[in-house]
Every structure is written in C-alpha cells, then in structure tokens.
Amino acid sequence: MKTMGGSYHNLAALATADFSDARQAQATRFGQSQQSASTLSLDSASGKNRLIIVSNVLPIRAKREPEGWQFEWDEDALVAQAKEGIPDEFEVIYVGSLSVDVDVMEQEEVCLQLKQQHNCAPVFIAPDVRDKYYKGFCKQQLWPLFHYVLPMAPSSAGRFNSELWQAYVKANKAFMEKVVEECASDTDYVWIHDYHLLVLPSLLRKRFNKIRCGLFLHSPFPSSEIFRTFPKREELLRSMLNADLIGFHTFDYARHFLSCASRMLGLEHETLRGAISIEYYGRTVGIKIMPTGVNPQRLLEGFSWPEFKWRRGELMSQFEGCQILLGVDDLDVFKGIELKLQAFERLLEEHPEWRGKAVLVQITNAPRSSGKELAELHEAALALVARINGRWGSPGYSPVAYLERHVPLHERIAFYTVADVAVVTATRDGMNLVADVAVVTATRDGMNLVADVAVVTATRDGMNLVADVAVVTATRDGMNLVPYEYVVCRQGPPGWAEPEHKPASMLVVSEFVGCSPSLSGAIRVNPWSIDAVADAMFSALKTTPEHRSLRHDKHWKYVSEHTVAFWAASYVADLARSTKQHVAMKCYGLGLGLDTFRLVALDANFRKLEEPATMAAYRSSTRRLLLLDYDGTLIPHRNISAAPPESVLAVLGGLMTDPCNEVWVISGRSQQELGGWFEGVPGVGLAAEHGFFIRPPWRRRWHSRFPLADHSWQAMVLPILKQYCECTDGSHIEVKASALVWHYGDADPDFGNWQAKELLDHLEDVLSNKPIEVISGNTIVEAKPQGISKGSLVELICKRDPLVTGETAPSMPGSTSAPAAAAPEPAAAAAAAGSLDGLPPGAGAAAVAAHSLGMGGPAGGQQWQAAHAAAAAGGPPPLPRQPVHQQQMQQQQQQQAAADAAAGGSSRGLAGGAVDFVLAVGDDRSDEDMFTAIEQYADTPRHPAEVFACVVGQRPSKAKFYVNDTNEVLELLAKMAGVGLPPRNDSF
C-alpha cells in the first residue's frame, strides 16, 4: 500500500501541475519508525558530503564473547580498502549485513555499537529470507546466469523460482530501508556493490529521486543471448539504469550490457570524449570500465610479521629442490580446478624430466554455496590428486599438494613469495587479483625460491611464496585478486631482495579472467584446452630469469599504479561529475512495479502547460498562429488508422471559423495523405515532408518551397541504399520526393546500428560535394537537401514571408544549374490531393512527381517513364533532356496566383502586422527545430508575442511546456474552438 500511495501522489502532482517536492516528505514518513537509532547521523555536523557504500556483507569481523559482541575491521575486504581512495571531503558510511546471526533482542545494541565504533549500519534479514535470497536466488540463479550457465535440466536449481525472486526483492528492500535511514538528504551519494543488490537502485530512486547512485558489478555480465532468457530481465535492466554510473571490470561485460539495453529496451549508447553513456528518461547514465586493484602496502607490511617469516622458511625447507606451481581457488565450478589438475598431469606425462622436480600446490577454500555439481567437482578433484600422486609419487615427493582449508594472510604471502609464475585459467572471470599480489617476492639469498610455478585459479586468501609460476585457470570468475597479489608479493618491500637478484615473476592467465587485459606480460591460455594450459606451464617453467624479470617489471608498474585506492578515487570522481546537474533537475517517478517504474528527469524550467493561463492569452490576442504536428500530436502513434478522426476535423474546422486564427499542420507525411485527409477543413495550412511541399492557408494548390531543387543525388544514393537493404535483413527504403530514407527498426539492433554507422560514413563521403545533409535518426538514416526542416518553415511563417502566406508565387532561386533527373519511384510520396503549381487538378501521381523534380511537359513525361523503367530494372534514372525554363515556371506560378485570387483565397487569412499569440505542439525529434525557431521568434523585441512551445509527453525537449498526451492537446484546441468533444475513447 505504501508503494501505491507514493505512485498515486506523484500522478496527482503531475495532473495538478504541483511541482512541490513531496517525495522527500514521503521518504521521511517511511523512515520515521526506524530512524530513532540514526538521528545523529541525519544531522551530520561535519559539513561533508555523505557517501554510503552498500555491499551484501559489511567489512566487519564479528564474534560473540561472554561479555558481549566484539567487532573488528576486515582490512582484507575490498570495500574497506576502497576507503583509502575516497577524498576527505566525504563522510563514508557502510551499509550491509553481518556474516553472523544476531538475536532480535540484541540488534538495536549492535546497531549502536557498530555505528559508534566503525560508522557501519547493519542490515538484519530474517534467516529464512536470507537463505532464499543469498543461497537460493543469488547463488543458484544469478551467479550461474552471469557466468553463462543456463539451467537446461528440468530439475536444475537454476530454473527461475518466483518465491526466491520475491525473497531477493524483499532483501533488497531491507537494504533500501537502511540506506534511507542513513541519508541526510536526497543529494547524498550511494555506491552499491555487486549482483546481490541489483534492484536496489530502483527502490532507492523511488524514495529519493535525486539520489546520486552508483553501481559496480564485480561479476561478469552475460551476453544478450544468455541474459534475455531470464524471466525478470527487464526488472534487472531498468533497475541498473536507475543508477547514475554503472561500473564493469572489462569492456566485454560493458558491451554485453549495452547490447541488452539496446535489444530489450531500445536504448542506444553514446560516446563523447572517451566516455560511454545512455540517455534514460532525461538522465544520462554513465558506463565506467575499470578493473579494481589491490592494496600493495597491506601485503608488503606482512613481510615484517614473525609468522610470515616462520612459514616461509618452513615452505622453503619442505619444497627444497622443487619448483612450485601454486593454485588458490574457491571450490567452484567456474574456477577450473579440475582443468588445472589435468593440465599438470599432462605436463608430467609429456615432460618426464619434471617428475620429482615440479610440485603443484592447490589451495582450495570452502565453497560459498552447495549443490550436486559442487559435490561432483570435489570428488573429481580428489580423484585426480590421488591418480597423479599414485602415478608419479615417490617417498618424499608428492607431485600435488592439495590443501582444503582457509589460508591466512601471512601464509598466503609466504606462498606467493616463493612462486615465480602465477597461472590464472578461469573459464569466466570478472576480476582475478591473485596475479597482482604475487609479484612482490623475489629471491634474497642468491638462490631461486622453492617453487618456480604458482598455479592460481580463483581465490584471494591463499598466498604463494614458494612458487615461481602462478597459474590461474578459472573457467569463469567474477572477482579474483590472486594475480595482482602474486605480483605484489614477488616485488617485495624495499631491500627484500639482494641487489644482484632482480624481482621476477611469471603468470599463466586464462583469457576469460577480468585481469587478463591488464596483464600484458602474462601467458594467456584457453583453460578448456588441457594441452594449451600444459604447454603454458612448461613454457613458464623454462623461461629465463631475465625474461621473467622483464615481464614482472611490466606487471608491477601496472599493479602499483592501479591500486584499489586509485580505482575508488576514479569511480567516486566520475560519479560526482555525472550527477552534478541533479540539483537542477525536476524529477517524477512513475509506475508501480520494478518492470514499469521509471524516473523522468526534466529541466527545472520545464512545466506543464496550464490551461487557464493559455486560454487567457488566447482570448486576449487578435492575431493567433497555431503550428501543429500530426502523428503523436493530433492522433496517437498507436492508432490503427492514420487518418484523422471526425473529432480532430471538427476541432480544426472550429478554429478556422475564427478570422483571427491561422492554423498549420506540419508533418513528414506526403501531399496526397494530408491533402486528402484535410480536404474538408477549408483554410488550414498544410506542410508535407517537413515543409518541402506547402499549401498556404486558404489556398487550393500545393507548391514546392524548392522548385528547382537538384535531385540528381538520388540517382547516386538509391543504389547504395539498395545494397545496404539487401545486406541487412529487416530494413527497407522509403522514397520521398524530397528525401531518401533507410529504415532499420526491424533489423537486428546491433547489426542495424553497425550498418547505419557505416552507411552514414558512406553517404557523407559520396555526397561531400553536394548540398545534401545525411542525418541519423531513430532507426533511420536519411539523406535530404540542406535547409529542409520544420524549423526553417516555421521561421518563414513567423516572419510572414509571402511564400508561405500565399500572397506571391514561390521565389525562384538564383542558381543557373540545370534541374536534375527524377528519383526512382517518388510518385507515391509526391502525389498531391488537388494539384501542384502549373498542373491540372486531376494530374496523376507520375506527372506530379515529374513536375516537382523538373520534368514537366511532354518531354518530361517521356523522361519520367524512362526513369520509372530504369528504377524497376535496378539501374539509375536517366538525366532530363533539358531543364524547365525559369520563365515558363514563373508563368505557371502567376497562373496559380491568379486562380487563387479568382477563388477568393487572397481575401482570407491574417492581415498584416505582428502575430501576438503562438502555440506550437509536437512530439518527436523533428519538432525540436520548430521549438527552437519559435523561441528565437519570441526573443525578438519587435514581436512581443505570447509563445507556448509545447511537447507531447514528459521528456527532455527544447520546448518549455508539456502536455501528457494527444487527448490533452485535442481538449485544449477544442476549448479554443468552442467545440464539444465526445467522451474519451482510448482505442482512438
């Protein structure tokens, strides 16, 4: 009921044009029952900006002692390390759940303790909801989906379960409620982490429309073919887009997200100065591509710990004389543990010289979920270890050391320092940090460390000091810092290695891990290829110390500069930059559910067209100009029939009965359509094809604004469009008298966009010396003569140019160039109801088109037939035999003017003088030029008119006013005309 009440409040505000920010009060009412524990946080006296970092689990270690709860900071947690990169101007608050259960009676005390000691706000979720949310939905459905695994088996736990989805939404609501408690205002910053909280941006945006919200996804993002199989795909996509900045580790994952937004929501991205963004209901959503890093200082400090020195010495003694390959992974199907073991087995089979010398140390952490697949993986890994040790083991030598336990930080550093090579072979990985840490260790006693190879697959809590090579073989992995940690540990602190022994390391990295692009010196492998991984391990072991040192230097330079602090600082800076205009926005949240909720962000000066003020200005004026778009303005786009209903004709007829009114219908449609539809409305001005053809008010004949327009370019462009149409399934060509349009709305979105960009470049190159402009619109590429737009026509109308008032014949351009040949098959687009200048009223479509393209007369008719035949055969049309003489054209225009005068047309219309009331209404991109022309006219001191530029729908526009739909447009016009309307019919 709370959600319904909030949506109703916003809808009521829109209906009454009440722009008071009542959403803040609503959010305050929502949190009143839970804000007692955080009153002090709401009244922050620091004066700093507030940044709330939200993650599934707080970076806190909790322990229940007899005397009470004990909490300590988890310095190894990524979100905790990120704080070092956040500027001091921010007050950082952490929101998340605890890894332990807290009794309901102790929760309030725990909240206060965490707030005072660590500035953390815990989220408490009921145990049954938490299990369904994390173990059920997150681990069994989202985690496999984001790692490219579809639940094909009917009994698979990955099949969508609505009960688990509801638990996921409910848990996200609990996080939202806690964030609302901690927000001091709706301009605070919120940084959300990972796939556990993907619907949180929408929930927050409903409460605080102007919240500055960032989302960083630490897991992979699947391709659109995988993601669109998910039943709640739109809910997740729209919620992610309700963030202001979305972060990904690699371009591949960002590209997949952009493809999903294009294919499923029809949203196209833009690039500007290296930045990628998506325009979403008036907000610019940024896309940031940047992998995380590690905190090198934290790892280097471990070299001074006594437990590290002891463990390192023990490892060097244990593996003396052997070279070590180290793997550190969670027990997960995407880590490639079994693939790594098989590759090591192949290495020993093909290179017997390494038997007794090479040791694979595989550290396996406990799984984070359960299931049949994990049980099978565990059994397979143990069987492989037993088989390898049984085949090539001997007293005092085991080829594989398999550790199934947690490895503390000091021991992890010890393992990293003795490893010369790290191998990362995940099948899919968002980010793998193992390799970056391993660089820290080199030799310090004149001999190689115990292990030459460290095999690192997917975890970050085991470190290799003994391995010379780190091997990371995860098949798919969301976040793995082992490679980065390995690099850091191979480098070591200053003075760690002897001067004559340079730091050295080697990495064998899966091409599917997130760190792979940043580790240019690593050996990249396909983890699914056992032979490739085995060959990479052998190459790493045989690499000379000099080459290892060169590769290490390259890795260390990157890891030491791109730290976790650098990552956090860059992200927060981009979030602040992308939301700096939020304060000036006017926002409206519409929709109830996650699949329908959207936030419309508008300019602060953008407001609803108020009927009383508009009617008052209308009644007090004496010279009124009404400029109306057709599709989407007078009739809805969803209409089955494109013809205007009787109600529209009646309203326009009523307006024309007032001699003070001049009404224009300006559309992209053809003369034939507009002339036929509005034949029964005398006096209305018509403009077809965005003003290329016009029929001035109270005139009976059409004429072209560009009577000598050169159409020879169409003969060059049409074959090109046909070629792209043949190559792009779902596309088609629209031939107009004034333009050629390639439509690709029904084509594959990605392929259509690629083809459109290529076509745009192709046409611009071909037409570079022609006065033709090539524009890219909404799933169209259009080529048309320069100067043809609604804006240029409206400028003439506002200036009362004789060409558009019908007082004189069309002016003849001063160009002496010959008119060009007709475009192939423009007859349908150029046919007119009535007649064109110089043609009888019953002239056919072919004659109309030929005349408009400079092919008048008997010779022109023959030329048009030849052009039509050539187009049917797929070839270019022939050039006209001779141009229409300018004197002949002037005589035809004078005859038209005389005919109009005889019909009494010249006595109607607005008299001389300035217009004092202008209403311009439109709904699409082509109308923006009209709005710009209107606003420029309003700023002219000599024409102090009341100007109302109005867009249909609440969307970003150059107009200053909006109405909600076509019904409101018609109701306003009906009041101006004094005409009654029938009850609303939504089917119309």
Q: Mind listing the pLDDT tens digit for each residue in 164-187?
A: 999 999 999 999 999 999 998 888
Residue 26's pLDDT is 36
Q: CA nearest 657: which of 686, 678, 683? A: 683
Query: Residue written as tokens 């070279």?
Result: 323
Residue 898's pLDDT is 54
Q: What secondary structure does DSSP assign to 423-471, as a single string?
A: EEEEEE-S---HHHHTTB---SSSS--SBS-EE--S-SS--BSSEEEEE
Q: Mind listing the pLDDT tens digit for each residue in 688-726?
A: 998 999 999 988 889 888 887 788 899 999 999 999 999
Mention every residue, 6+ apart, whose C-beta is less than 8 A from residue 533. Answer: 339, 340, 343, 423, 425, 471, 473, 508, 525, 526, 527
Query: Residue written as tokens 């890894």?
Result: 99
Taking CA atoms, 647 is separated from 23, 651, 749, 973, in Å, by: 38, 6, 38, 11
Mention every residue, 6+ apart, whose C-beta is less than 8 A from residue 824. Answer: 714, 715, 718, 735, 867, 868, 870, 871, 876, 877
**Termini Cα distance of the chain:** 32
CB–CB of 399/348 below 8 Å?
A: yes
Q: CA nearest 466: which of 307, 306, 320, 298? A: 320
Tokens of 830: 């150029």
Residue 47's pLDDT is 63
For residue 630, the number of C-alpha atoms closer than 13 Å in the C-beta half-sphere is: 26
CA–CA dist 420, 427 (Å, integer): 23
Q: CA nearest 294: which of 489, 93, 510? A: 489
* DSSP collapsed to 3 states, 644-663: CCHHHHHHHHHHHCCCCEEE
CA–CA dist 326, 310 (Å, integer): 19
Residue 436's pLDDT is 41
| 662: β partners | 625
Taking CA atoms, 768 is separated from 579, 764, 771, in Å, by: 39, 6, 8
Taking CA atoms, 719 is separated from 41, 713, 735, 852, in Å, by: 67, 11, 12, 22
Tokens of 575: 């979030």
| 359: β partners | 324
CA–CA dist 415, 407 (Å, integer): 10
CA–CA dist 97, 142 (Å, integer): 19
Mention every residue, 6+ apart, whose C-beta is less than 8 A from residue 335. Answer: 329, 426, 457, 458, 459, 473, 474, 475, 477
Instruction: Assign 410 to helix, strand or coil.
Output: helix
Tokens of 850: 């030929």
Residue 596's pLDDT is 76
Backbone angles phi, psi at 438, to 5 degrees: -70, -10
Instruction: Assign 499 to helix, strand or coil.
Output: coil
Taking CA atoms, 761 is separated from 718, 720, 732, 754, 781, in Å, by: 15, 12, 19, 11, 11
Instruction: Assign 621 to helix, strand or coil.
Output: coil
Mention every residue, 6+ apart, whose C-beta is less than 8 A from residue 650. Answer: 979
Rounded to 10°, the helix 966-977/646-656 angle is 40
Q: Which residues of the chain have pLDDT under 70?
A: 1-47, 420, 423-469, 472-479, 806-913, 941-944, 984-988
Q: CA nearest 798: which of 666, 708, 678? A: 666
Mention every residue, 6+ apart, whose C-beta is less than 8 A from residue 527. Answer: 336, 339, 340, 425, 426, 427, 473, 474, 475, 510, 512, 533
Residue 46's pLDDT is 54
Q: Mind listing the pLDDT tens digit for each residue in 800-817?
A: 888 887 665 444 333 333
Residue 925's pLDDT is 81
In total, the chain counts a number of residues equal to 988
| 476: β partners | 428
Classify strands 68-73 and 269-272 as parallel, antiparallel or unpaired: unpaired
CB–CB of 529/492 below 8 Å?
A: no
For residue 672, the number of C-alpha atoms closer than 13 Å in the C-beta half-sphere is: 15
| 53: β partners | 94, 191
CA–CA dist 674, 833 (Å, integer): 8
CB–CB of 905/806 below 8 Å?
A: yes
CA–CA dist 666, 532 (Å, integer): 66
Query: Residue written as tokens 């995988």?
Result: 226
Residue 935's pLDDT is 82
Tokens of 664: 């224009």
CA–CA dist 464, 255 (Å, integer): 34
Alpha helix locations (H) across 183-267?
A: 200-207, 224-227, 233-241, 251-265
Taking CA atoms, 748 is separated from 143, 723, 724, 779, in Å, by: 28, 17, 14, 11
Q: CA nearest 21: which of 209, 213, 205, 202? A: 209
Rounded to 10°, the helix 251-265/749-766 angle is 90
Tokens of 258: 């952009």
b vs e for 765-789, b when ≥16 Cβ sit within 10 Å of the residue's Cβ?
ebbeebebbbeeeebebbbbbeebb
Alpha helix locations (H) across 692-745?
A: 713-727
Helix, strand and coil content of the chain, in percent to the nearest 5, comes to: 45, 20, 40
- The letter for the amino acid at 983 is P
Q: What is the sign, positive or negative, of the torsion defined by CA atoms of 175, 180, 184, 190?
A: positive
Distance of CA 408 to the CA centre of its chain: 40
